[in-house]
Amino acid sequence: MNVADVMRAMTTVAWLGALAVIAIVVTRAGRGRPIRSGTALVLGLVVVALLLTVVSAGLVFMQPEQRGVVISALAPKGYREEILQPGLHWVVPFFETVVVYPISRQTYTMSIAPLEGAVQGDDSVTARTADGQELFIDASVIFAIDPEKVVDVHIAWKNRYTDELVRPQARGIIRDATSQFGVEQIVTSQRDAFQSSMETAMAEKLSDNGLILVDFVLRNITFSPEYAASVEQKQIAEQLAQQAALIVEQRKQEAEQARQTAHGQADAAVIAAQGRADARIIEAEAEANALKLIAAALAANPDLITYTYVQKLASGIQVMLVPNDNPFLLPLPTLTP
């Protein structure tokens, strides 16, 4: 509780005390038992109450988040040009009054949700884009009164600056900015530029009227049902196209894998065939060398083949039957019984 409030409380107590004493004095006087010096006591209490009333009416205490405008019947312009800063101040009682303005941050919200905005119900801003699409935009304006321009705000707007300045300016700026962009730009690549353009315009408008824009919050953007349905269909089509492209890519990968497998099998077959061919060549060369050795041995000893033939015959053979119309391949030795 500040000094001004204490003085007002003391004034109230003084007046209540004076009224109580007056009631007592009148009651006792009516009963024929007047209080000695009762009139003087009543007058004294009334004088004290009047003094406290005057003093409390002249004392004004400003909180740190407040600034005051003094409306004065004694000033040529009807108000003091100096702004009351935080602290205790004195004004002329009954000739001057103080209008208090907050300089702390204030928020004005326009929302489609019934209980979120400053105005109950759907208070979103309806706007059309450059390509004719209808949007419903939720936004919040966070602002404060410029401490150095409190007197100007009082003269121009008094306490109507929220409803008659911030609200209409914000709604108009949102509609103007929306008309400069296409709907695809607002929801994708140009959203930041869209919000920045509104913030710049809003800051300029508020500054011209003694207010400071702290932040402009683009809360939500809602589409018309028709456009929302078309966007959904487009997204579904894009997802299907992506799925089809994924399937095509998968088929390409499978075909490449099959090609690589076939190539590997072909290489393996070539390598196997080459191995068999090399083995056959080696075998043929070995046979040829063997035949050369056999031919050389036969040339050196013609009877070697006969000997080898005889060695292959069964032991104990006595008779050989040879067709009479076939020549003898080998000279047979003379057989003895």
Name the band, by pLDDT with cuts 50, 70 and 90, for residue 55.
confident
In this prediction the pTM is 0.62
Name the band, by pLDDT with cuts 50, 70 and 90, for residue 331.
low
Supply the mean pLDDT for the chain.
83
The answer to which of 3-12, 136-145, 187-196 has the lowest mean pLDDT is: 3-12
Please choose, from the candidates 59, 53, 118, the residue with its C-alpha nearest in 3D space to the C-alpha of residue 84. 59
| Beta strands at 59-62 and 87-90: parallel, antiparallel or unpaired | antiparallel
Tokens of 147: 């401490």
**Which contiguous run of DSSP H or E holds residue 260?**
helix 225-300
3-class SS of residue 80: coil
Residue of higher predicted confidence among 327 and 53: 53
**What distance in Å separates the CA atoms of residue 233 and residue 280, rounded to the nearest whole number?**
70
* Sign of the torsion formed by the C-alpha atoms of 147, 152, 157 and 158: positive
**What distance in Å separates the CA atoms of residue 68 and residue 154, rounded to the nearest whole number?**
10
Q: How are the residues of the chain apportioned to helix, strand and coil, as percentages rounded to the nearest 5?
A: 55, 15, 30
The answer to which of 23-32, 100-109, 116-125, 126-135 has the lowest mean pLDDT is: 23-32
Query: For the residues of 144-191, what is the DSSP string, one character each?
Result: EE-GGGHHHHHHHTTT-HIIIIIHHHHHHHHHHHHTTS-HHHHHTTTH
SS (H, E, C) 18-40: HHHHHHHHHHHHHCCCCCCCHHH
Question: DSSP label at 287?
Answer: H
Angle between helices 38-58 and 3-30 (to 10 degrees): 160
* Sign of the torsion formed by the C-alpha atoms of 172, 175, 179 and 184: positive
What would the mean pLDDT of 275-303 be, rounded to a whole number?
A: 80
Q: Is the pLDDT of residue 328 over 60?
A: no
User: What is the CATH number assigned to the segment(s) 109-223?
Assistant: 3.30.479.30
Name the band, by pLDDT with cuts 50, 70 and 90, for residue 50.
confident
**What distance in Å separates the CA atoms of residue 74 and residue 86, rounded to the nearest whole number?**
23
**Which contiguous run of DSSP H or E holds residue 88?**
strand 87-90
**Which contiguous run of DSSP H or E holds residue 127?**
strand 125-128
Q: What is the amino acid identity at position 164?
A: E
